[in-house]
Amino acid sequence: MLIAAAVLFLLLRLLPGDPANALVSVGADPEQIEAARRQVGSDLPIFAQFVRYLGQLASFDLGASFVSGVPVLEEIGRRLTLTLPLTALAFTGAILIALPLGILAAVKRDRWYGSLISVISQLGVAIPVFWIGILLVTAFAVKLRLFPSSGFPTSGWWRDPLAALHQLALPILTIALVMSASLIRYVRSATLDVIGSDYLRTARALGAGYGEALVRHGIRNGAVPVISILGIELASTLLGAVVVERVFSLPGLGSMLLSGIEQRDYPSVQGVLFISTLLVLLVGFAADLVQRLVDPRLRGPSGARP
Amino acid sequence: MSDATPAFAPLPRLRLTPAFLIGATLVGLHVVVGLLTLIWTPYDPTAMTGGRLAPPSLAHWAGTDRLGRDLFTEIMIGARIALSVGIGAVAIAAAIGVTVGLLAAFASRAVDDVLAATLDILIAFPTLLLAMLIVAASDGASLGTAILAIGIAASSIVARLTRILARRVLAMDYITAARVSGTGWLGIVRIHVLPNIWPTLIVNFALQFGLAVIAEASLSYLGLGAPPPNASWGRLLQEAQATVYTAPFGAIAPGIALVSLVIGLNLFADGLRDVADPTRRRR
Amino acid sequence: MTASPVRSALKPLSVLKATTTATLLLMGLAPAFAAESGPDATINVGSLYEPQNLDNTAGAGQGINEAFNGNVYEALFRLNDDGTVSPSLVKDFKVSEDGLTYTFTLQPGVTFHSGDPLTSADVKWSIERVTSSDSKSSRKNSLKPIASIETPDEATVIIKLSSRSISLPYNLSYVWVINDKAKDLQSTEDGTGPYALEGWQRGSQLAVKRFDKYWGPKPENGEVVFKYFTEATALNNALLTGAVDVITSVQSPDSLAQFKDNPDFTVAEGKSTTKLLLAYNDRVAPFDNVKVRKALARAVDDKKLLEAVWGEYGTLIGSFVPPTDPWYVDLTKTDAYDPESAKALLAEAGYPDGFTFTIDTPNYDPHPIAAQFLQGELAKVGVKVEINVITANEWYTKIYKAHDFQATLQEHVNHRDIVFYGNPDFYWGYNNPKVVDLIKASEEAKTVDEQTEKLKEANIQIAEDAASNWLYLYPQIVVSKKSVTGYPLNGLNSQFFAYGIKKAE
């Protein structure tokens, strides 16, 4: 974690540009630019900046944004109240869509609806997120007026969950659609693996029905790669919703990172990356745990080593 | 080399599903068009030959943009750019990703743990954001930077998948048997691991190819991809977005080109997978 | 207003209402305060320019002028929407015979939002905040002539100058008057304006509510919420679907079609001060050669570019000065479009076969499209253009600070910013001693007429030197719901006075 922090710190400082630039405007003279650099500390040597940063990290202080002056941790906390539920809901939706459809597409791949599912999922993978978002907004917000086109209630979730859900319906749908499109492909792929496998044929030879064999043996075996994909998808959606956030003007974690990078607001960038790294490790750990539960062969301490 | 599981056999008993054929045709079309632009285009791509936002006509099949340039010409060149981005990015991702993934799978527990954790962290960074950082770090946006950035960003996903797949294979009983019979780890990789994991990897490469094309479009959409006047589809879409109400065709045509290429790639890979799957071949 | 959340989930319009109510509840306000229309209405303003923080001396960006100038903070003078300057917190003022001493009498009965009364000490503190060494205000330079500020009594401020400064009232219109006891001005405020800050949700919106102890006329609405968008299409959709009432400036002519033909909306065109220009680095060859600059000005058909970007909107300009400035002169005939004479001039300057140069191009609209247009136009006279796309942040480091460029595209938003051509150290490096003297002398002028005369002369000289290549003046288009009226049209310096906005039934 410490090494990651150091690497990150150095990488960010290698970017051309200066955080002080976000604070000046056309008309500023050299004296004012120097004042801006003093304020953000970019006039110090890199080593001194790094020592300062480590000191802050040690006390779990992520610093304050160079640009807005707000403590980074506070800002991240507020953005997480949007990002976490958005991710969780979209993720749940994607699983609910992708699991049954993916298995169906594999098992019934010779039927027309099996192929249809594949075709639709392919379409879903091929369309850029911003296009789907814009289409949904045009259809459901501008034409049908069913959902708001953008934004998020200032009151957050808890005062009026239904209103918040209503406001977020389109972004959730957008992410869920994109995510499930690629998930279906993985589920289908994993199911095909299972269907063609020896143990399934063995089970069937021993008298189990096709469905029963698939459920008893298939899910365990097929689930392992799918779970790891799920873990990746979940983790990357935390930050990866940035394009969706842009289309729907949502104040999420991804847009905080994006504007942080644009403005060279190092404390914000470092803070977001630090927190999201923690979250990702957590998700990865959980995925690993689930995999081990599902597939006993992964439990042995050295089973996979040469 | 063992006869039972040759590593990269030519595709025997090729079952040409309609999906595969459609995919191959779509990709082939884009390749032909992309190659054609090297020697011929209907118009000079930078020449302002028509009116502002002219609708599709016989002279301009896809209409013109705000500067009166022929959109069909730009979309054709876009195919070339998309294909080169895809090929370059996937090659980079495959080279880095498969190597790192196999190393992790075979390495000692401690090394594996460190690699796995690093990959987890890198993956937290969506391809697009990592690519944006790399583009920001380089001196100005260019096509090469975009390819490199997308390739590097995608390699962590390939590496992680390779590691997981390889570990699954290594947990099989026949690996223990092979080890007992004295096969070295390179031999195990060649005879057992690669043949077993490459169908899944191919599916992933095709996906990554498509994702790379989308990522380049998104980067260009955000103004970080190939700089103008390179006719990237993403840039065409971005420029057309402002005029989507008065000239919707400008936003639709590059989108269709983009989607058709990505779908073609995916169908192609799916067909390839159904054929190349060793478990199916053994039947 | 009191619709239950469950029911309202079925009806989008009432959800909006319920949401606003919830917001107000959270802010600790009585729900009765917010109204759909009438004198207590909430006005939702859609904008692309979210402030970065709330302090205009700490790099908050143009968004803070839009939200706070005249709304939350007032200054001694106000720059009106028509470009005139009138007293605001100043009741009366006197200028000494030599023009070096200004005596201001403050408005009586003015209170800050915190409840403290306005005194001369607050004014002194506020001005010194802008002129201090830590200030990052772009206006700092223009206040340099201030030698001292005296406060003989609570209602009187005396400013002594080291040299005459005819634009002092104008320049003071940028200096917010802030309570000298205020702290943490980056995230809170303590001004005297008709609205007080209610809440700011970064990345989303900023709300101000009517300040009941305001000394001036009562605003026509109860609350103003600035909603921020990163993307113009999302902003347009928000107006179409009723999430915002008015858009401060529309950035694409083609999105206007959906509002123009719709009886539910008003499309109004004001006058902007935003100029798009190709700025050369006048220090380096070949752009240190006037003939080259003039040739390039003649090689570009500005009208065609304006039409490509803005359709039927926008204005052509022949120099840096927009028609709303008093020293405007129609200079569009100077170095008008004439590719043949451009070629001749290039040959005369020693470039018969043209040359190659790079345009550093910001990565946001309209710069990339303009760069491509220039590439096409200049190719016709044999000049080859490379386009290098950079971010706004890089632009400051590479071009503004390091002057490491050949030419760059940039939009300049400020009002009365011809003075930049009087600074040889400015990024474009234009240095004509005659212009430097004229601009300096104009500031020390005794009368406005004299100032105008001098700046006109400078303006003509700058155009004659083709100091930069001025492409066009942006249009300023405000779109609102039909029921919403009373908003400012010109938005000078990005200001958006909200107190006059009315929302009818």
CATH number of the domain at B159, please: 1.10.3720.10
**Do C446 and C489 fall into the same domain?**
no
Contact C22/A70, CB-based, under 8 Å?
no
pLDDT at position B283 is 32
Higher pLDDT, C11 or C434: C434
Contact C363 B67 (CB under 8 A): no
Residue B45 lies in a domain: no
Q: Residue C203: inside a domain, yes or no?
A: yes
Q: For the residues B246-257, what does the mean pLDDT come to?
A: 83
Mean pLDDT of C462-469: 95
pLDDT block averages, 10 residues each, chain A of length 306: 64 64 63 68 70 71 79 88 88 90 83 80 79 79 78 63 82 89 83 73 68 67 77 74 79 83 80 80 82 70 39
Residues C262, A38: Cα–Cα separation, whole Å: 52
What range defines the domain where residue C466 resides?
275-473
Residue B91 domain flag: yes
CB-nearest to B48 from C257, C376, C389 is C376
CATH number where C112 lies: 3.90.76.10
Instruction: Scan residues 186-215 of C and list those with Cβ closer than 8 Å to A.
Output: 186-187, 199, 201-205, 207
CA distance C82 to C76: 18
Q: Are residues C64 and C197 in the same domain?
A: yes
Closest-CA residue in chain B for C259? B245
Burial (0-12, 13-18, 19+ Cβ within 10 Å), B142 = middle
Does residue C27 surpass a pLDDT of 60? no
Structural domain includes residue B99 = yes
8 Å CB contact of B123 and A235? yes
Whether C8 is in a domain gets the answer: no
Q: Hey, which of B40-49, C201-210, C467-476 has the most confident mean pLDDT?
A: C467-476
Whether the upstream peptide bond of residue A100 has omega within 30° of 0, thus cis, is: no
Tell me how many domains chain C contains: 3
pLDDT for B2: 39
Q: What residues does A260 pair with on adjacent strands?
A: none
Q: Is residue B164 part of a domain?
A: yes
* Short-list C413, C412, C421, C414, CA closest to C455: C421
* Cα–Cα nearest to C458, from C276, C325, C303: C325
CB contact under 8 Å between A149 and C234, yes or no, is yes
C103-118 average pLDDT score: 95
Q: C437 — contact with chain A (CB < 8 Å)?
A: no
Q: Which residue, among B120, B139, B256, would best test binding to A if mutated, counting the most A CBs under 10 Å from its CB? A: B120
Section C207-213 average pLDDT: 95
CATH code: domain of residue C258? 3.40.190.10
Residues 127-186 of A with CB under 8 A from C: 134, 137, 141-142, 145-155, 159-163, 165-167
Same structural domain, C281 and C258: no
> What average pLDDT does range B248-270 have in this prediction?
85
Return the minimum-mean-pLDDT range out of A183-197, C151-165, C185-199, C261-275: A183-197
Q: In the predicted model, is pLDDT for residue C186 greater than 90? A: no
Q: Which residue matches tokens 């600035």?
A: C226
Looking at the structure, do residues C346 and C219 belong to the same domain, yes or no? no
CB contact under 8 A, A249 and C228: yes
Contacts 24+ apart (CB under 8 A), C207-213: C207/A154, C207/C23, C207/C27, C208/C67, C208/C71, C208/C72, C208/C498, C209/C27, C209/C29, C209/C33, C211/C113, C213/C111, C213/C115
| Residue A149: exposure state from Cβ atoms within 10 A (0-12, 13-18, ≥19) | buried
Which position has the higher pLDDT, B182 or C338? C338
Question: Do C383 and C462 sit in the same domain of this protein?
Answer: yes
C363 interface with B at CB cutoff 8 Å: yes
C379 inside 8 A of chain B by CB: yes
Residue B52 within a domain:
no
Residue B55, pLDDT score: 85
Contacts of A29 in chain C (CB under 8 A): 140-141, 425
- Flag if B47 and C363 touch (Cβ within 8 Å): no
Q: Do B124 and A280 touch (CB under 8 A)?
A: yes
Q: What is the pLDDT of residues C357-371, one digit of tens each?
A: 999 998 887 898 899
Whether residues C94 and C134 share a domain: the answer is: yes
C148 domain residue, yes or no:
yes
Find out whether B148 and A216 touch, Cβ atoms under 8 Å. no
C112 shares its domain with C151? yes
Q: DSSP per residue over chain B, as a string?
A: --SSS-TT---TT----HHHHHHHHHHHHHHHHHHHHHH--SS-TT---S-TTPPP-SSSTT-B-TT--BHHHHHHHHHHHHHHHHHHHHHHHHHHHHHHHHHHHHS-HHHHHHHHHHHHHHHHS-HHHHHHHHHHHSSS--HHHHHHHHHHHHHHHHHHHHHHHHHHHHTSHHHHHHHHTT--HHHHIIIIIHHHHHHHHHHHHHHHHHHHHHHHHHHHHTT-SSPTTS--HHHHHHHHHTTTTT-HHHHHHHHHHHHHHHHHHHHHHHHHHHHH-HHHHT-
Percent of chain C with pLDDT over 70: 92
Residue among B141, B228, B242 minimizing CB distance to C254: B242
CA angle B251, B257, B258 (to 5 degrees): 85
Inter-chain CB proximity A189 and B179 less than 8 Å: no
- Here the ipTM equals 0.75
How distant is the Cα of A225 from the closest Cα of chain B, in angstroms?
7
Each residue's pLDDT tens digit, B172-190:
777 777 777 777 777 888 7
How far apart are the C-alpha atoms of A297 and A77, rounded to whole Å?
39
CATH number of the domain to which C323 belongs = 3.10.105.10
Give the torsion sign (CA, C309, C315, C318, C321).
negative
Whether C489 contacts C501, CB under 8 Å: no
Q: Does residue C366 form part of some domain?
A: yes
Q: Is C136 on the interface with A (CB under 8 A)?
A: yes
A with C: how many residue pairs have Cβ under 8 Å apart? Answer: 194
Using the Cβ of B47 and the Cβ atoms of chain C, whether some distance falls under 8 Å is answered with yes
pLDDT band at C342 (very low <50, low <70, confident <90, very high): very high
Q: Which of B22, B108, B109, B121 is most worth mutating to test chain A (most A CB atoms within 10 A of its CB)?
A: B121
CB–CB of B161 and A228 under 8 A?
yes
User: Among all residues of chain A, which has the CA nearest to that of B222?
Assistant: A243
Are C495 and C346 part of one and the same domain? no
Spatial separation of the C-alpha atoms in residues C311 and A115, rounded to whole Å: 47
Residue C482 has pLDDT above 50, yes or no: yes
* CB-side neighbour CA atoms (13 Å) of A165: 12
pLDDT 10s digits, C263-299: 999 999 888 889 999 999 999 989 999 999 999 999 9
**Beta strand extents in chain A (DSSP E only):** none
Q: Does C23 touch chain A (CB under 8 A)?
A: yes
B129 and A254 in contact by Cβ < 8 A?
Answer: yes
Task: Evaluate whether residue B46 is within a structural domain.
Answer: no
- The reply to whether C56 and C159 lie within a common domain is no
What separation, in Å, do the N-terminal and C-terminal C-alpha atoms of chain A show? 29
- Chains within contact range of chain C (3+ C-beta pairs < 8 Å): A, B
Contact A18, A262 (CB under 8 A): no
Q: Please say which residue of C121, C137, C172 terminates a domain.
A: C172
> Mean pLDDT lowest for which of A290-304, B69-83, C228-242?
A290-304
pLDDT score recorded for residue C5 = 34
Query: Looking at the domain assignment, is residue B42 inside a domain?
Result: no
| Same-domain check for residues C457 and C433 | yes
Three-class secondary structure of residue C54 per DSSP = coil
- Paired with C201 in beta bridges are C205
Question: Does C217 share its domain with C167?
Answer: no
Per-residue tokens: B253:
């045509």
Please state the separation of Cα B195 from the chain's center in Å: 21
| Lowest model confidence (mean pLDDT) among A86-90, B218-222, C99-103, C400-404 | B218-222
Of C172, C204, C219, which residue is a domain's last?
Answer: C172
Q: Is residue B43 part of a domain?
A: no
CB spacing of C389 vs B68 below 8 angstroms:
no
Q: What is the mean pLDDT of chain B?
A: 80
Q: Which subunits have 3 or more CB–CB pairs within 8 Å of chain B?
A: A, C
- Over residues C171-198, the mean pLDDT reads 93
Give domain status of residue C178, yes or no: no
Beta-bridge partners for C150: C158
pLDDT at C504 over 70: yes
Best of C254, C259, C265, C359 to disrupt the B interface (most B CBs within 10 Å) is C254
Q: In what order do the strands lie in the sheet with C90-95?
A: C90-95, C101-106, C156-161, C146-153
The shortest CB-CB distance from B67 to any of C233, C361, C372 is to C372
Same domain, C329 and C468: yes
- For residues A185 and C4, the model is more confident at A185
Is the pLDDT at C353 greater than 80, yes or no? yes
If one counts the domains in chain B, the total is 1
Cβ separation of A261 and B133 shorter than 8 Å? yes
* Cα–Cα dist B179/B186, whole Å: 11
CA distances from C381 to B47, B257, C375 (A): 14, 35, 11
Range of the domain at B24: 18-37+60-282
Q: C5 in a domain, yes or no?
A: no
Q: Are C268 and C477 in contact (CB under 8 A)?
A: yes
Q: Which range among B152-156, B207-211, C205-209 has the greatest average pLDDT?
A: C205-209
C-alpha to C-alpha distance for C402 and A273, rounded to whole angstroms: 31
Q: Does C258 touch chain B (CB under 8 A)?
A: yes
Q: 3-state SS of C239-300? A: HHCCCCCEECCCCCHHHHHHHHCCCCEEEEEEEEEEEEEEEECCCCCCCCCHHHHHHHHHHC
Q: Has residue C7 got a pLDDT over 50?
A: no
Query: In this predicted structure, what is the pLDDT of residue C4?
Result: 35
Q: With respect to residue C151, please indicate whether it lies within any of the assigned structural domains.
A: yes
